[in-house]
Structures are given as structure tokens and as C-alpha cells.
Chains A and B, each alone.
Chain A
């Protein structure tokens, strides 16, 4: 009987957590784009810029330009680093390279993310 009660409590708890998460997600998705209400304008602008100047792989632009790569790097930085901790300051390039190698292991960031973030953080 006790194990049944425990299972019931588990079930109710999981359902409550999932419901809370989905409520929060839907509430955030329905918030209008209002800077005063907490929208991160920089992120939004960055997203648009990155889309506009996305690295082109057409024959006329075989290599992505530096500006687009830096913007993409900033986007990857914002998406990856703040998942766990506050945005770090800029460190000297040789230290930054080591720290990003550490993050490649610790946070499982992809090789491409590491390259773009290193370029963004050191140039």
C-alpha cells in the first residue's frame, strides 16, 4: 500500500512539474515583443543580423566573411555559455583557447561552436 502511495506521489509530482514547465513555456512564447517587459533586445537584433548575414556557401562567396562569423560566434556564445553560468569576461587569447578546450570537454559544446566562440572572444 505504501509503495502504491509512493508511486502515486511520483506520478503526481512528474505531471505537476511537466505542467508547470509547459505553462511557463507557453506564457513566455505569448509575451509580446516589448523591451520593457523583459525582452532581450540585443539577442533579438543579433538573431536578425546573424540571419541577414548568414555565412554563404554559394560559389560567389565560398568563405564566410569575418563579420558574419563574429556575429555567429556571438550567437553561439549566448546560446551555450549562459546555459550554466553568467557571461564570462574576455580573457587574453591564449588563455581563452585553453578555457574553450576545457568547455569542449566539460559542457560538450560542438567543435564548430568552440571555433566560432573562440573567434568571437579573441578578435
Chain B
């Protein structure tokens, strides 16, 4: 036993200096540009609107170009070292849902931490307070908070490996359109929560040219464990999404699949479509979702038109959406009550106007009419969103 310990100590003494020097070399190569640069190092970054032929003459950029030609990143070639960024949005909305007034301020910060050439740590939180009248007729607030995602990504040319808590790659709404500063209409389509929206596990994803530069293939496959913590609750599930994007036509379509591996083990299928014609400043987006479980199926089609051709109205955007939701057949009364909005058939039409006060500040007025058997309702939303972006590292905001 003693001799084993002796051998182990000898081995550690022999290997430690080598391991330490390897670690130092790796840190110097990868993390160096992110963390070790002094503030004035941004001098390497080319100034905006500068002719790109100019910086190539500078010794710093020349040196980086050499390293890029040996397989380095685009950041190295351009002499740019990415810095941690704090972004996100804040919003304030007044909603009138079927005569019930709600005031809802919200904050959703997102922290992005790049490490080395290939890593990105990202985490988005959500904090919201909803004020509405209680049984006594007084306005009372209800606070909600959670972690939308907290994930580590290792990015390579063809595949990104992701671990942690993330939004499930199902359809387009959850991953891409959900933040209030992005969505054109503030009311979430009824069919979106049919599939499981959050995951805790691993994911492989990426976007690659599919044989030519006329088509891009994007894909994402994941697995998730069950987690019952109320802040980061997830289902045990697996699934994925495949999409094809035609950049010349600005058309994307794709399909999603999800299999929940717990409870009644429902599976969901989905399809999505995006089209942005070059001729008009119009975006058409649509999604269809169907589940084998108790949550039914539905689809939505949305059109967004920005009046960018009229100089005096170029900050105005019109949006309209039609959606239908079909509850699962033969539901019991108790199940319908538990499912809430997903328990009854519904048709809904929404329309709205967005006004961009600035690139990041947007005012919104939405109106929707919901048709549900026995309880049609008007849905009003008025409010503002502000998207913020700031460097979370000294000198990171320098031009």
C-alpha cells in the first residue's frame, strides 16, 4: 500500500509541471484575447466605416491574419476579441383580457460570456410582476421569476454542442420569436405551449450550407432529463428540428418532433414556415403543432409589414395574425379545467401596430378577438419594450 502511494506521488510530481505548462499554454491561446487584454487593446479593432484595406497594414492585424490563415477564427483575422455582453429587454404592458385589467412590468436580462475561440456561455433570466384586481377589488401584484436558459456552447464549423438548461428546439416561436422586443404581436399563440418548451440536458445543433450557397440546412437534436425544481422545471424528453433556408428567396421551412418520456408519453410534431420577399418589406411566419396527448393541435399565420418605403412612416409596422386551436377530442371536464386555454376549441384574430421610437425602443398597441364557445373575448395590449445591449467588460464598448 505504501509503495503504491509512493509511486502515485512520484507520478504526480513528474506529470504536474507538464500539465501546468499545458494549461498555461492553452489559456494563453484561448482565453487570452478575452480576459488578458488591456483596455487600450481595442486599438486592434478596425474602426467602423473604415476601409478594411487600411487595418491590414497595421502590424497587429497582420499578425492575426497569419494566425487565421493557419486555422484561427474570424475574430483573430479582424483583430477583434469578443467581450462579455449584458443584453436583454425590459417591458411594460397594460393588458385588458375579457375586461380584466393587468399591468405587467418585466425584465429579462441575458448575459453572454465568450471564452476562447469556440466557447459561449449564455444565460437568460426572467422577472415579471403582474398587477391585477383581487377578490376585494384592490390591485395586487404577483411576482414571477425563472431561468429561461443557462447553457454552455462549444461552437465548431458544422456542429455546436450545448449543455445545460435550454429552450427546446421545437418550431420557431420559443427559440427565436418569444422575447417581447422581437415578437410583432404580444399575445403568444395558443398552440405554442403544446410542446414541452424547456430542457435540461444536451443538444447538438448547427447551420451548414446544404451542398451549395443557395440552401442552408439547420438542425438541432436534444435530450432532456426530468427536473421538478419550480424555477427550472423540465420534462424528460427528446426530439429535434430540421429546417431549410433559401437565402436568395428568403424562405425557410422545417419540421420538428418531440417525444416526452414520462407520464402519458405524448409526442408532438410541428412544421414552420418563414418568408420575406425581397420586393416588399413583409414577413410571413407560420407554425403548426399537433400532439398525441391531451393538448390538441393548432396553427397560426402571421404577417408583419413595415412601412419602410414611406419616409414619414418608416418607423411604423403593422402586424396581423390568424390562429385556430383544436382541443383534443373526448376530454373529461376535470382535464379541460386543468388545461385551461388548451382545453377548448378556439379561433383568434389579432392585429397591431408597432412604432419604433428608436432602434431599441418600441411602442405597441395590439387588439385580438378570441372566439371560444360561450365566452368570446376582446384582448387589448398597450405597452413599450426596450432592448438594451452593453459591454460587461472594461473597454469592450470602445470603437
Contacts and interface: CB of A to CB of B under 8 A. Distances in A.
Given A83-B274, A95-B85, A105 B279 contact: no
B247 A95 contact: no
A38 interface: yes
A112 to B, nearest CB: 7
A24 B275 CA distance: 10
Contact of B80 (A31, A97, A111): A97
Contacts of A40: 278-281, 308-309
B138 interface: no
- Chain A contact surface mostly: helix
B250 interface: yes
Contacts, number: 208
B162 to A, nearest CB: 7
In this complex, which of B45, B209, B276, B279 has the most chain A Cβ atoms within 10 angstroms of its Cβ? B279
B397 to A, nearest CB: 5
Contacts of A70: 52
A105 B309 contact: no
Contacts of A88: 359
Chain A interface size band reads: 35 or more
Interface of B: 42, 45-46, 48-53, 55, 74-75, 78, 80-85, 87, 112, 114, 120, 122, 153, 155, 157-158, 160, 162, 175-177, 181-182, 205-209, 213, 216, 218-220, 243, 245, 247-248, 250, 252, 273-284, 286, 288, 290, 297, 299, 301, 306, 308-309, 317, 324, 326, 329-330, 356, 359-360, 389, 391, 393, 395-399
Given A28-B282, A101-B114, 10 more contacts: A33-B279, A40-B278, A40-B280, A66-B53, A75-B247, A83-B250, A85-B181, A87-B359, A101-B82, A108-B219
